[in-house]
Structure formats: structure tokens, C-alpha cells
Structure 1
Amino acid sequence: MTPRPPSSDSDPKKSVKKAAKSVKKAAEKAVTKKAAAKKETPAVKKAAAQKAPAKKAPAKKAPARPEPVVPPASPALDAHDRDRLLSATHHDPHGVLGAHPVPGGIAFRVFKPYAISVTVLAGTLRAELHDDGDGFFSGLVPLQEVPAYRLLVTYEGSVQETEDAYRFLPALGDLDLHLIGEGRHEQLWRALGAEPMTHQGVTGTRFTVWAPNARGVSVAGTFNFWDGTGYPMRSLGSSGIWELFVPGIGEGELYKFAITRQDGSKTLRADPMARRTEVPPNTSSIVHASHHEWHDDGWLEGRAATPAHEAPVSVYEVHLASWRPGLTYRQLAEQLPAYVKDLGFTHVELMPVAEHPFGGSWGYQVTGFYAPTARLGTPDDFKYLVDAFHQAGIGVLMDWVPAHFPRDDWALAEFDGRPLYEHEDPLRSAHPDWGTLEFDFGRREVRNFLVANAVYWCEEFHIDGLRVDAVASMLYLDYSREPGQWVPNEHGGRENLDAVAFLQEMNATVYRRVPGVVTIAEESTAWDGVTRATDHIGPGGFGGLGFGLKWNMGWMHDSLGYVQHEPVHRKFHHHEMTFSMVYAYSENYVLPISHDEVVHGKRSLVSKMPGDWWQQRATDRAYLAFMWAHPGKQLLFMGQEFAQGAEWSEAHGPDWWLLDPGYGAEADHRGVRDLVRDLNIVYRHTPALWQLDTSPDGFQWIVGDAAEDNVFAFLRLDAEGNPLLAVSNFSPVVRHDYRLGVPDSVPVWHETLNTDVGKYGGGDVTNPDPVKPEATAWHGRPASITLVLPPLATVWLRPA
């Protein structure tokens, strides 16, 4: 039923028409009165002449004309505006919809598809608007100024009282627009996307999106039955930003942007800045506001005390969805931090958390760069997990993927009908290996999108560091491309200068804004200066990229190649274990045994080792201790800490059943896990193993050329010169009375760790007694010691 005004004998339409006639009559009467006042009778003229002094007769004036009567304006939209709104191509819907002063009063225009009637409510006024067809309603109300008003909208079966979305000023400020235009909005997520807020005293949600090539943009969602026709957004000038404040819309609403392309075709897109999404395979964005209260102030205050390259960093890499399949973020928070803390790791590194449509990509093909995956819970649930890590004293690193994005037609690809986030040149946009699209790092808005995204995870989620994926694919124009498939840069080189500038800006911005974080590059080439400061020009003519750490892919490849050989052949590959020291101080390195090394037919870490099961486990243990003693930080993927024999599968995760006591795991798998725990404990309490990781002063070879013996021995030193001696024997024989040169400043050495002890699953060949140096020069040193070297084992010794 159409709502009626309080008086039973009045009709709103008749009232509006009657008021318009009154305005017209009053105007005509005023004109007549004014004209009459100007007429003078002969008596009046004579009286005036007698009083006035004599003077020349004035020039004859033209008779006064009555002022024209301005008829009331028609409130209905013209055909042009109607067509543009119906076709979703209007750039300024607020300029024609809503309430606007016109001759004769205030014109109200409303666009409500499927509505039966619309009534304006303003105080005691109830004015039903005329149905102009196609969802348009209009009316002229004889008011002097626009009142505070609401709309009563009648649909079939329901009546809704609501604010008019088109009576509001833009909810995005000029400073935001200026910073976006400059590509320097470092908190871009506060300006774009869906932001619940109170605007002009009304609660609702501000929707904003960058779509400079669109002819029109609308908001579609659950609140309008996914028909965005009646919710067109306005273009905010040359910024390319479209904006609409929708009153009454709050958290939890699903939405997308309905975009009209230049050719008139339509596309429905998820919000690139969405902070929450539906659970895949559903793809809608969700209006979100965070309510998490952090409890990690102490952690944040202390994390900046020591730079990462001078601190102990031992990383447990985790794929959250498969660590224990089925657990949510909050359930993981009850188990994972405690597990990591028990094993002594200083950090976790989470494989990509940002939303991605295909679980089999492990998160490396991102569609929702600002939203944690909804598979495991809400954004606040993820914050709860990070908070739990921090309260357990564990830092949180996160894989970040700015190199590329998938081609899904509801996401970023040709977002507004043309290449926008990707490069316009197909040779620069299509990634040849992964079937994805590469970002256009030279476009300031795209660069801003990514730089702000890095800041977002660190500021909003308290992430302690970003491991940046596939850096090499960004740095080189010819990456995985044949001649003719790439174009040299302006200097004729193959370096992607736009990507270099982007990485420098990202690192500089993150380090400036978020003290204590670290950025880590997965960079597989010999690019000069990955971890050099951005303002320091290197031999290649480029400033440093500004990363804090870099994955040492060369060490990983060479060392794994060495241990996969049969011991009898290792002497021919001895240099593969020593070559890393040639370049160990060219960058600040992390030694990664990551997920990439235990999938796709590469076998798990223990299964790479040759020999029987005992030899495999022994070599695995010796390799881990060698790795923990080598200069650089450590990273180990989940499941490898207990010598899982099978490759990792994201479908079922680690084989936790291997640790079941009923399986006899004490000798097999629990022993390796106990070793990893002890490695971390000794490591964290021995500055020689981490304090000078990036300085030649922290390392000395004792013997690096014992190829026939398969033996490596070296010293690690802290800033005070306190040493740790690491000796690895990668042959399956016991070496008795093995002599090694040592500093004469140490009176007694004590075996701190031995990977062959029985509790780790070894044969208990140890050096239980204190070891005193002899005055026998050896290996170029004035003193020496003799040790028993267990088979396939690593031994650590420290001054007693």
C-alpha cells in the first residue's frame, strides 16, 4: 500500500500541484502590484510638481515592463541522463539524483529499480514522488532549501525507510586523492575499498575503487540483490577513483563492483582492496572492520633492538592449511606457537596467506592481496594467531607475492576493460612459466597498490617480515623468455628498471614505517646488491635493492647436490660444500630448505640421502648440524624436523603418525626432532653462530680440503672472539684420533652437540671427556686436538 500523509482528506500529489499553483499566483500578484505602484495619477503628478523645485524636464523614459514569471522546473530527469543511468555509464549520478534547488522549490529525483512508489519524508512532510517509469521517481516540493530527509520505498511485499545515498558529499578527502594521484598513499587501504564509517552523521559504508578506463561503475551486493543498476558510483575527476557512500550498509555484507567497459560490455569484479572475502570457490568481497585487541606491545617494542642479520634467526616454514588439516586460525593458535616454541625456532614463515582461488597454488597465485584467506577464518582470527605467536616470543614472517597474479575474470586481469594492473605490452604482461600476468611496476598507481600492501601486512597484522617471492622473475626482462620475446630497457640492457625502482621503494617504505621488520628476497641469480642499501650504488650502476636478507639458493643447490651422492663419490664433489664461502659475505643470507625442495619428485630431505634407512637418517642429522653451523640464518620446512620420508602434500600435510610411540618413533623420527630442538637451543645461546653471520671475522676454516676424508672443519666466532668448532664427517666410517688445528688460546674444548648420540638415533660414538689441545702445530695453527669423528655425523665443540 502506498504510504499516505497524516490528513485523511489530502493527497500528496494534489498537495504538490496545489503548492505549485500557489507559487505561480503569488508571483503574478507581486508583479502586478509592483507595476501598479509605478503608475501615477494626474493629481499626484500636480502635487509633486508644486513641491519640487523647477528644473528641466527629464528625458522621456520607456514604460516599465513587468518581470517575467519563471515557471517551476520539471523535476523529471531528461532522456540523456536516464539513458546513462540505465546503461550504467553515468560519471556523476549525484549531480542529477537526490535533492537539488530549482526554480519553484526543491526537485527530488530517485532511481530505485523495481520500486512501486517512493515518498520523501522530511519532518511532517510526506511527498509521494511521481513514477517516471524504469525505476525513476521525481517530484517538485515548494521548499526554500534542501531539508534533512529520508525515503520511504515501497516494493512488492515490503516497505523500506532509508537514507538517500545521493544526498551525501564525497566521503573521500582531497588529501587522499592527491596522494593516490601521486602514487604515494602509504595507507591506501584506508582510502580505497569498503570502509564502514559514519559520514555526515549517518552510518554506512564508503565504497571506492580505482577504475580509470571504466565508463561507469556501480556497487552490487546482497543489499541490492546483486543488481548494481540503482547504485551507480561517481567519478572523482582525473584520479580514476569512483566513490559511493551507501547508508545503512555495514559489516558482513557481500559486494562486488559492476564495471561498464569502454565498449559498453559489463563485468562484475571483486574489490582489489577487499580486506575480507568469501571462502573459495566463492569470490565475493565482504565489508569488514577489525575489532581485534592486540596484546603484543612488549614484542613490538623489543623486536627492533637488533637487526635481523645480527640476531639469531631460525625459521620454521609452515603451510597453515595443511600443518594439521582442518584447523582454523584460532585452533592453530592453540597448537602451532607452542610447538614452534618447544622446538626452539625464533620465527615461523607462513606460505602465502593472502586470498587465492586455487588451493593447489599454495597461495602463490593471489587474487585478494589485502585479505587473509577465508579458508581458515576471518581477518581478526588471523590477527589472533599472529598475536599468539608474539606472546610466545616467536616472530612471524609471511610470503608475499608481488610478481604476478592469475587471469581470473572476476579479479585483477583487465580490471576495467583494459590492462590496468598488468602491463599494456603483452611481452611484458604475460608470465611464460606460470600462465599468469605480471604487474606493471612502472605505473605509479600499481606501484602504490603493492607498496601499500607490504605496509598493510606489517602495520595491520603486525607481521615481522616479508619473504618476497620470485624476485628474479621481476628483475629481468628476459626471464624465461627467448630472443624476440622481450624488449631491452632504455639502456639496451635486460634489467627491468621499473621493477628495480619498485623493490627499492617498497623496502625503503617498509623499513621507514615499521621499525624492526625484515624483508627477505627469494632471488636465485647473482644480482648485485640485493641486501645493499638503496642509496649505495654498486659496481653495476644500480643502487641496492634494500632487502634485509636473501635466500642463498646457491648454497641450497650445491649442498643438497653433495649429500645426495654416495659417500664414495663425495670426494669428487667436495667443492660443492665449500664454494659457498667464496661468496658468503656478498649478501646477508638465509640458508633455505624450503617446501620447494621436498615436492614434485624432489623427495623429502631424509629421502634425498643415499644408503639404507640408518644411513639416510644419519646423513640427514649431519647435514642439519652442518647447516646450523654455516654462516647464515636457517629455514626448515615443516615435516623435515622429524625426517618425514614422504614428499609434502598440501592435501594431508606432515605425517604426524610417524611420531607415534607405537611406531617405534623414538629411534627414527623423534630422535631427529630432538636434534632439531637441541640445535636451536645451542644456536640461540651461542652468539658465535649468528652474531657475525655477515662478516668474514665470524668464520675461519680449520680444514676445507679434506676431500678424501669427506671432512669439513671450521670455527665460528662472536664479536668477542669466542669460538665454536664445527666438524662434519660425511663418510660412513669412524675416524679415530682425527687431528685438527685449533687456536692456542682455548685451554679445554667440550663437546656441545653430537648428531650421533643415541637419543637422536645414532650409534653413540662421542667425545665424552674434555679435549685439551696439544702443542703440535697442525693446519697452520700452533696447537691441535684429536677427536673421534662419528660416521655420517657433525660434532660441535666449545671452550669448556
Structure 2
Amino acid sequence: SNIVKMNKPISWHLAQLEEAEEIFDCFTLSYRSFGIQRRSDNGLVLREWAPGAEAVFLTGDFSKFLGKNSLGNYTSPKVDKSPAIKHLTKLKLVVLTKTGEYLFWISPWAKYVTKTLDSVTYDWTHWDPPQRYQFQHTRPPRPSSLRIYEAHVGISSPEGKIASYKNFTRDVLPHIKDLLMAIMEHAYYASFGYQVTNFFAASSRFGTPDDLKHLVDTAHSMGITVLLDVVHRHASSNTEDGLNYFDGTDSCFFHGGSRGNHSLWGSRLFNYSSWEVARFLLSNLRWWKEEYHFDGFRFDAVTSMLYQHHGIGQFHFWGNYSEYFGMHVDEDALVYLMLANHILHKLYPQCITVAEDVSGMPGLCRPIEEGGLGFDYRLTMAVPDKWIQVLKEVGAEDWDLKNIVHTLTNKRRGEASITYAESHDQALVGDKSLAFWLMDKDMYTNILLATSTSWVSNEFGHPEWLDFPKKGNNESYYYAHRLFNLVDIEHLRYRQLYAFDRDMNLTEDKYGWLAGCQSAVTTLNQADKVIVFERANLLFVFNFHPCNSYIDYRVAVEHAGKYKIKLNSDELQYGGQGRLVQDTEFFTEPMPFNGRAQSFLEIMRLLKNMALKYSKRLNKS
């Protein structure tokens, strides 16, 4: 039975699309026919959709006004040798409105836009290099476990400046995996890339399109899967260098009136019921797959797409089905997401799609054939919020482990999810990172290896929060950087934290617990602050007590045999105190405990975590 009830099934929408456009492959490759295209004889073809305009003209460095047509269609004379418009020529569309006003805009299909330091708006710069970038490396196979690292190109340098694609390729790729955030062109740098102005243009503040292609190509050579954070919920309200009022009306790409404006974000909301908006957005996905070889997408703000209330004021979704379905669901947006997932997975079977959704709508990550929306994964957005809340508001001795475990395990069965300990939402709004909340002033005073403070942190413990230059900080780049260089300094402890993060990922790569079945929590001791759980034939033991360690602590297990330590955060190389012998063997005994038939006594002299690998055969580790 269908999980999602719509007036028309998705097959009907696909049939309508194919009837009008022959096949959806051509429909979603419209970036090859819209905007400016060079013909085989070097002549020019211009095609724009501007239904509310009286006429559209093309102008630029090469000439005065050219062409006039209500749809913006124009074909230049035949050119024998050089292109009709040269590479890097500055261009403008001139839209004549019904009221007789001339508006100077950038084509919605522009592939490259640039601006000078003293300019407020962007210029449309024609991108048509004599030689196209040739990719050298194939995409890596789709991983069974996603270990995602969020990365922003602009803040990837240790210097207080806007870093480049080249810098990222050279200095950062060796350190990180698997995600590239928001690189579509956005005029306002401090929007984090979520107020897009030009959907087909890679941000020029980081370099050229070829620089980005080289970045993705190099990542593939390292076996790194690269996902693009795609923003199809809304667009910047900019006019001259954005989509807003493109044809002189407020309803060209967006809903007209109040429905087309996001009350909190100040951005314009796409009208998914429009055939040409579907063409634009679906072709945008194909563009990033075909032109830049991205391996998949993290769809931003899916909750805001699914509901006409956009999630505003919905502080909690309690699981009542009336919250997920009914009159407040935006069926046009829902159909668009289903179409996007259907087309991406049909044309690129290895493609990965991730939904940033806080609502937990049932079926979001189930196949479209079942009535689901077809996403591969949902982000469990509550988890990073929970960790920040715990660190900010609760002392370590008062942590509510039951509440923490509930948040970590509150997922829909049968739908895959991705859980972050920390995401950019927590670290990029002037707040402190997890590392900073844990370490506070020790981040500066106990940074040398000779100090004795133990740190618990993800990654390498970046010493400061991250923020973009804006009026609130006097346009400073001081916090708009990322000190990856700290992990290479031998006498500092950042390299120890980084080493643990690296080895944790390598251990997961070996045992694959992220793709394993649901965790079975066997110990949740609030007084001792101890959590023990089993997953993917591994046993995880955590002691969160701020000062207590334990001797002869009984641990319940499902399988009889011998257990050995595979990852121990108390090792000296991770900045621990080396209180455990790494090759210690733990033998089970048939003593029932906490609902398990087997158990063993385990010495926990650490304040962090361990992962133990079991073996049913006692003579094999």
C-alpha cells in the first residue's frame, strides 16, 4: 500500500513528462539547450523562459542589443572560425517588462559569474574555454557505510582569507572524506552558501569551474566519494544577479505573493507545480552530475519543502500521522522530490541522495515503488542538537543517559539514516564547537603533549568556532578559517585527537558497523554513567562518568567466546594514559546478565570508549 497518498501517482507525473518531452533524459538535460549555446558552426543560440516579459535581449562586451523574442530565443549568424562570443566575455540579458521597464539580469542558466572586490553584484562571465576539462579518474564504487565529513572550501585555509578550490585540493583532501558543502554561487558569503543566486555556476570566489572539476577528480583518485549540498528549497531574493523578478513579475520561478516568500529566511520559494521550474531544477541536478561528476546530493531543507508551514513553529514532530500527512503537505514539492530521486537513481544507480529532514516523515527513505520518496538516507538532525544541548546546559555528573540513548536510537526501522555528532549548524553560527564546549580554556592552556588533561573530541579539536565575515564581526575573516595545519605539529595534541578519529574510521571500514543492524543496548546504568551496546558483531563499552573508573565490571554479551580490544581511546597515541593492555583477552562465562545468556568481567579504567571484537572460536582472535 502507498505510504504517501497523492492525487496522482508518480507514474502519472512521469508519463505526463515523457509525453510532452519524449523522454525525461532530454528534459533533464535542458542546460544543453537553454541559456547560451555554441553551435557546431560557432554561431550562437540563446534560449530563455520569461513568460511575464514583453521581450528579451542579449547584450555584452561584444555588441549592442541583439535579438528580440517573447521567449528570449535568438540565433546569431553563422561564424566560420572563432566563436560568436569569446570565452570570458561579459554578458547581460535585458528583459523588457509589460510596463516598459528594461531590467538587466544574469541568465538563470549562466555557468560562471564573477565580481570584483569593490562590486556589489555579480557579472555574467561567458564560460566557453577552448578546451574542456578532461576527467582522469572514474567515480569510486558506492560505499556500504557512509562516513561523511562536512567541508567548506572557503574556510579551509589556516589563513584569514577565502580559500580556493586549488588550496582545498592540495591541503585538505588528504585529511578528510566525504562531503562538499554548498558551492553554488551565492552573493552573500555569510549565508554559508544556502542563499543561492546562480544555480549552474560554481562559486567563482573559490576559483574557476575547471578548478572545481580538478578537485572532484582528485578526490576520486583517492577513493573519496563527493556529495554536493544542493539547495532546491529556495533561492536568494537578489534580482540583478539572481532569479528574483527575472521576467519582471514575482512569479516566474516562484510562487507569487506571500506564499513565495520564506518569512524567516527572506528568500524566494520555488513553485514546484510549474513545468519550467521542474525543468530548471531537475536539469540542475543533471548538470552537477554530468559536468562536475559529483557522486550524489545532500538535499538541504527538505522539511521546509514537504510542508506548507515549512516547519516554522513546529519545534517537535511527535510522530502523529496527522502531522505528516494532510492539507499542510506540499504535494507539488513532494512530487518534485520523488521525480528527482527517480531520475537520479534510474540514470545513475550508484547515486547517493540524503534528505536533511527533522520531521521524520514516514516513507522518506523508502523506494518510490512502495509509495516512498526514494531518498537513500535521512539526516538524524536531533542528535547534534542533543549533544550541544547536553554540553551547554548539563553538568557531566547529571547527564541523562536514558534520554541520550533514546535520541541516538529514535529512528524509523527500515529507513537508513545518517547521524552526526556535530554538524555545521552547530559550529557555524558563532556558537562553540563540540571540542570547545568540552575543553574550554584547556584548548589553549593544555595544548602541549606534555600536559596531562584528557580530551574527548571528534576530529582534531579545532580550537575556535567558525563564522563568516559580516557586519556583526566587522567583516572579519578571523574565524572564517580552518586550522588543518595543527594536526601536523608534532608537539601539539591535535594530532592525537586526529589519530583517534582516523583510526576510528579505519576500524569502521574494517568491521562496517554503520551499515550493521540496529544496536542492542545491554547496559544503561545511570548511576555509573555506563553504556554498553552490541552492533555488527562488535561490543561497544562507554564510561561517561566524570571521575569514576571501575574494576571487575560485568558486561553482558550475546555470543560466547573470546573478546579482544580493537579500539581503545585510552591508548597513549590518542592522548590517553595507557591503563589497558591492548592485547588483553576477555573470556565469556555462561552467566546470564541484562537479558543476555553470556557475560564477562571487564576492567574499565578509562573515561572514554572501547570497541571489542568477539570470536566464537576460542583459539582464534
Amino acid at match of 2:141: R
Between structure 1 and structure 2, the one with the greater Rg is 1
Whole-Å separation in 2 of the counterparts to 1:181 and 1:792: 59
State the match for 1:646 in structure 2: 464
Shift of 1:360: 1.1
Shift of 1:480: 5.7
Q: Secondary structure of the equivalent of 1:798?
A: strand
Shift of 1:184: 6.8
Closer, same or farther in 2 for the Cα pair 1:619/1:724, shift >3 Å? farther
Whole-Å separation in 2 of the counterparts to 1:621 and 1:785: 28
Whole-Å separation in 1 of the counterparts to 2:51 and 2:229: 30
Q: Determine if the alignment matches structure 1 residue 387 to structure 2 residue 217.
A: yes
Kept after mapping to 2: 8 A contact 1:183/1:444: no
State the match for 2:423 in structure 1: 594
Shift of 1:376: 1.9
Whole-Å separation in 2 of the counterparts to 1:659 and 1:579: 32
How many residue pairs align between the two structures?
558
Q: Which has the higher helix share?
A: 1
State the match for 2:239 in structure 1: 409
State the match for 2:135 in structure 1: 294
Give identity over the alignment, percent: 25
Whole-Å separation in 1 of the counterparts to 2:303 and 2:26: 25
Q: Determine if the alignment matches structure 1 residue 566 to structure 2 residue 407.
A: no
Residues 354-753 of structure 1 aligned to structure 2 (within 5 Å): 354-410=184-240, 411-479=242-310, 493-536=327-370, 543-564=371-392, 565-570=394-399, 572-583=400-411, 585=413, 587-592=415-420, 593-609=422-438, 613=442, 624=458, 641-650=459-468, 651=477, 652-656=480-484, 658-659=486-487, 661=489, 664-665=491-492, 668-687=493-512, 689-692=513-516, 695-696=517-518, 699-703=519-523, 705-717=524-536, 723-732=537-546, 733-745=548-560, 747-753=561-567
Whole-Å separation in 1 of the counterparts to 2:333 and 2:198: 21
Shift of 1:798: 0.8
Q: Determine if the alignment matches structure 1 residue 322 to structure 2 residue 155.
A: yes
1:403-442 deviations in Å (ceiling 9; x for gaps): 1111212121111111244444322101011111111111
Q: Secondary structure of the equivalent of 1:727?
A: strand
State the match for 1:779 in structure 2: 594
Residues 308-319 of structure 1 aligned to structure 2 (within 5 Å): 311-319=144-152
Q: Determine if the alignment matches structure 1 residue 232 to structure 2 residue 67.
A: yes
Whole-Å separation in 2 of the counterparts to 1:619 and 1:479: 45
Shift of 1:548: 0.9
Closer, same or farther in 2 for the Cα pair 1:465/1:790, shift >3 Å? farther
Amino acid at match of 2:196: V
Whole-Å separation in 1 of the counterparts to 2:18 and 2:339: 19
Closer, same or farther in 2 for the Cα pair 1:327/1:606, shift >3 Å? closer
Closer, same or farther in 2 for the Cα pair 1:621/1:401, shift >3 Å? farther
Shift of 1:204: 2.8
Closer, same or farther in 2 for the Cα pair 1:394/1:480, shift >3 Å? closer
Q: Secondary structure of the equivalent of 1:472?
A: helix
Closer, same or farther in 2 for the Cα pair 1:798/1:181, shift >3 Å? closer
Amino acid at match of 1:232: G
State the match for 2:611 in structure 1: 796
Kept after mapping to 2: 8 A contact 1:402/1:469: yes
Whole-Å separation in 2 of the counterparts to 1:584 and 1:177: 37
- What residue ranges of structure 2 are gaps of 5+ in the alignment? 1-16, 315-321, 469-476, 615-620
Closer, same or farther in 2 for the Cα pair 1:623/1:211, shift >3 Å? same
Whole-Å separation in 2 of the counterparts to 1:649 and 1:423: 30
Closer, same or farther in 2 for the Cα pair 1:333/1:765, shift >3 Å? same
Whole-Å separation in 2 of the counterparts to 1:622 and 1:683: 19
Closer, same or farther in 2 for the Cα pair 1:552/1:456, shift >3 Å? same
Closer, same or farther in 2 for the Cα pair 1:791/1:584, shift >3 Å? farther
Whole-Å separation in 1 of the counterparts to 2:535 and 2:345: 30
Closer, same or farther in 2 for the Cα pair 1:726/1:622, shift >3 Å? farther
Kept after mapping to 2: 8 A contact 1:204/1:250: no
1:93-118 deviations in Å (ceiling 9; x for gaps): xxxxxxxxxxxxxxxxxxxxxxxxxx
Shift of 1:218: 0.8
Answer 1 or 2: higher relative contact order, Cα 8 Å, separation at least 6: 2
TM-score by length of 2: 0.83
Q: Determine if the alignment matches structure 1 residue 760 to structure 2 residue 574.
A: yes
Kept after mapping to 1: 8 A contact 2:272/2:333: yes
State the match for 1:278 in structure 2: 114
Whole-Å separation in 2 of the counterparts to 1:432 and 1:264: 31
1:160-210 deviations in Å (ceiling 9; x for gaps): xxxxxxxxxxxxxxx999639999711010010111222xxx423322211
Shift of 1:258: 0.4
State the match for 1:80 in structure 2: none
Kept after mapping to 1: 8 A contact 2:303/2:311: no
Amino acid at match of 1:215: E
Of 174, 191, 194, which residue of structure 1 is paired with 2:36? Answer: 194
Closer, same or farther in 2 for the Cα pair 1:790/1:577, shift >3 Å? farther
Q: Secondary structure of the equivalent of 1:322?
A: coil
Whole-Å separation in 1 of the counterparts to 2:155 and 2:374: 33
Shift of 1:587: 2.6
- What residue ranges of structure 1 are gaps of 5+ in the alignment? 1-174, 537-542, 625-640, 718-722
Residues 155-234 of structure 1 aligned to structure 2 (within 5 Å): 179=21, 185-198=27-40, 202-224=41-63, 227-228=64-65, 231-234=66-69
Kept after mapping to 1: 8 A contact 2:435/2:457: no
Amino acid at match of 1:520: V
Kept after mapping to 1: 8 A contact 2:56/2:72: no
Shift of 1:714: 0.8
Q: Secondary structure of the equivalent of 1:753?
A: strand
Kept after mapping to 2: 8 A contact 1:524/1:553: yes
Shift of 1:444: 1.1
Whole-Å separation in 2 of the counterparts to 1:334 and 1:793: 34
1:334-358 deviations in Å (ceiling 9; x for gaps): 2322223xxxx4x2x1111111111
Whole-Å separation in 2 of the counterparts to 1:436 and 1:616: 44
Shift of 1:461: 0.9
Whole-Å separation in 2 of the counterparts to 1:216 and 1:509: 33
Closer, same or farther in 2 for the Cα pair 1:184/1:661, shift >3 Å? closer
Whole-Å separation in 2 of the counterparts to 1:741 and 1:424: 57
Closer, same or farther in 2 for the Cα pair 1:183/1:479, shift >3 Å? farther
Kept after mapping to 2: 8 A contact 1:195/1:288: no
Amino acid at match of 2:93: F
TM-score by length of 1: 0.65
Shift of 1:585: 2.6
Kept after mapping to 1: 8 A contact 2:299/2:354: yes
Q: Secondary structure of the equivalent of 1:215?
A: strand
Kept after mapping to 1: 8 A contact 2:589/2:598: yes
